[in-house]
Structure 1
Amino acid sequence: MLTNLESQLKQQNAADKLDQVLAEIPRVREDLGFIPLVTPTSQIVGTQAVLNVLTGERYKTIAKETAGILKGEYGRTPAPVNAALQARVLEGAEPVTCRPADLL
């Protein structure tokens, strides 16, 4: 995860923002229902933290994968997700509450 973060920041000429991104990761993880930091969710949390820091505004840009977690496409989260953020992503739709694979 750390290597990917460093790489993303270097590509954006923002390697100096690593400490800010590392501080943002627990906040993003909380917003996403304390999902475990294992692949692929660790990469999703890390990428969203990078976006939040680089844009200067939390969730100004929401990654497709972050939206997927908020929609329930990755399954149930260990804790509730940020309700306001979820409502913004769902735009009036209902979240997935069944086993996501059952929708295939």
Structure 2
Amino acid sequence: GGMLTNLEGQLKQQNAADKLDQVLAEIPRVREDLGFIPLVTPTSQIVGTQAVLNVLTGERYKTIAKETAGILKGEYGHTPVPVNAALQARVLEGGAPVTCRPADLLKPELAELEADV
């Protein structure tokens, strides 16, 4: 499927195709840390990319992808179970997670755009 093909491609680009089994073993751990988020686009790619980063850097979450941080911050909505609290605190840097519908935080733009027309 798409996720596996992307993982293979990412690993080949890094000359690390031999690490596929390690990445496949890391995926369920990342998914658990991210609140058992469903593996559907785009979150399947986010989980897969973070698993690749964890394996290639040799340290879990040494590098946290921007999109992974977004899930931990609540920018992708609620997860089925709470995300890993330590990782969430790390990316929030003292801030608060998004607890409402993320789009509700956007300022209205229609009136301004209509005025520009």
Distance 2:59 2:101 in 1: 33
Determine helix, strand or coil for the equivalent of 1:36: coil
Distance 1:28 1:83 in 2: 13
Describe the superposition over 1:18-72 as per-residue Cα deviations: whole angstroms up to 9, x where unpaired: 0000000000000000000000000000000000000000000000000000000
Describe the superposition over 1:1-29 as per-residue Cα deviations: whole angstroms up to 9, x where unpaired: 00000000000000000000000000000
Distance 2:28 2:90 in 1: 21
Q: Which aligned segments of 4 or more residues in structure 1 are displaced greater than 4 angstroms?
A: none
Q: CA deviation at 1:90?
A: 0.3
Pairwise CA RMSD: 0.3
Q: Which has the higher contact order (CA 8 A, sep 6+)?
A: 1
Question: Which residue in 2 is equivalent to 1:58?
Answer: 60
Question: Which residue in 2 is equivalent to 1:86?
Answer: 88
Distance 1:78 1:103 in 2: 22
Describe how 1:26-41 pairs up with structure 2 within 5 A. Answer: 26-41=28-43
Q: CA deviation at 1:81?
A: 0.3
Report the TM-score when normalising by structure 2.
0.88
Determine helix, strand or coil for the equivalent of 2:60: coil
Over the matched positions of the two proteins, sequence identity in percent amounts to 95
Asked which structure has the greater CA Rg, the reply is 2
Question: Which residue in 2 is equivalent to 1:6?
Answer: 8
